[in-house]
Amino acid sequence: MIDIFLEIRRECLFVRAQGHSLFDKKGKDLVCCAVSTLIESWYLTCYELGEGHCEASRKDGFFEAKVDKNEKNSLFFRSLYVSLVPLQRQYESLIKLRMEEKDGS
């Protein structure tokens, strides 16, 4: 299962995705590909078009990033969430999606 955690913090936006969907063999898994593409596109959009600091860590089956919270990056973050929701609904046994807002951290 792919576990995706999105968090809106006071000063940054945080994304963590880990796991594999096991929908198909490695390299042919369209569910993993879709999730990876959406998350990587979000991060690259923040990095190239957003404002402020961006940092990410990647390993096989793991991605974690945080970007400064501002108007542009928040719009990109919302777009990521809106894009992930229908994918999670279609593959609910393969994708777990959570979003939280922390006002004090």
* CATH at 70: 3.30.70.1490
Q: Provide the residue range defining the domain that includes 75.
A: 2-96
In a domain, 89, yes or no: yes
d(CA 57, CA 73): 18
Residue 62 in tokens: 């793991």
How confident is the model at residue 27, as a pLDDT?
84
Asked if residue 45 is part of any domain, the answer here is yes
- Spatial distance between the Cα atoms of 36 and 100, rounded to a whole number of angstroms: 20
Question: What residues are paired with 27 via a beta bridge?
Answer: none
5 touches 88 (CB < 8 A):
no
Q: Could you tell me if residue 101 is inside a domain? A: no
* Alpha-helical regions (H) of the chain: 30-49, 71-90
What is the domain count for the chain?
Answer: 1
Decide if 102 is inside a domain. Answer: no
Does residue 22 lie in a domain region?
yes
Specify if 73 maps to a domain: yes
How confident is the model over 17-70, as pLDDT tens digits? 999 998 988 889 999 999 999 999 999 999 999 999 999 999 989 999 999 999
